[in-house]
A and B are shown apart, each in its own frame.
Chain A
Amino acid sequence: MAYLELNNIYKTYGEGEHATEVLSNINLSIEEGEFVAIVGFTGSGKTTLVNLINGLLKPTSGEVLFKGEPVVDTSHDRGVIFQNYSLLPWLTVGQNVYMAVKEAFPKESKAALKKRVDDYVAMVSLSPAINKRPKELSGGMRQRVAVARALAMNPEMIIMDEPLGALDALTRGNLQDEILNIWSKDKRTALLITNDVDEAIYMADRVIPLKPGPNATLGPEFKIDIERPRDKTALNDNPSYKKTRNAIIEYLMDIGAERKSVSKEEYTLPDIAPKSFVA
Chain B
Amino acid sequence: MEQDITLKKEGQSTAFIKSLLAKVTPKIQKGDIFNSLKKAGITIVSILLFLGLWHLGSKALYNKEASYKIEKALTERGQEAADAERACIESGESSCQPNTLPSPSQVWGSLQSLIADHKVITADKAAFAEKMATTNAKLVAQGKDAIIYTGRASFVDIVLTSIKTVFAGFLLALLIAVPIGIVIGLSPSLRSAFNWFIQIFKPVSPVVWYLLVFMIVKTLYIGDSSDNAFVISFISVGLCAMWATLVNTAMGVASVDKDYINVAKVLKLGTFQKVFKVILPSSLPLIFTGLRITLSVAWMVLIAIELLAQSQGLGLFVWEEFQNGANDSNAKIIVAMFVIGIIGFLLDRLMLTVQNMVSFNKND
Contacts and interface: CB of A to CB of B under 8 A. Distances in A.
Interface in A48-89: 54-56, 73-76, 79-80, 82, 84, 86, 88-89
A44 B281 CA distance: 34
B187 interface: no
Chain B facing A: main interface SS? helix
Given A84-B259, A90-B281, A56 B268 contact: no
A82 B282 contact: no
Contacts of A133: 360
A80 B360 CA distance: 25
Interface string A108-142: 00000000000000000000100001010000000
A86 B262 contact: yes
B265 interface: yes
B12 A74 contact: no
Contacts of B282: 88-90
Interface in B225-248: none
Contacts of B262: 56, 82, 86
Contacts of B263: 82, 86, 88
A176 to B, nearest CB: 23
A103 interface: yes
B266 interface: yes
Contacts, number: 47
Interface residues of B, number: 20
Contacts of B284: 90
Contact of A88 (B12, B265, B278, B361): B278
A100 interface: yes
Nearest to B359: A90
Contacts of B273: 103
B12 A128 contact: yes
Contacts of B8: 128
Contacts of B278: 88
Given A128-B8, A133-B360, A86 B260 contact: yes
Nearest to A133: B360
Contact of B266 (A56, A88, A135): A56
Contacts of A74: 265-266, 268
11 contacts: A55-B265, A56-B265, A74-B268, A75-B268, A76-B268, A80-B266, A82-B263, A88-B278, A100-B267, A103-B267, A133-B360
Interface of B: 8, 12, 259-260, 262-263, 265-269, 273, 277-278, 281-282, 284, 360-361, 363
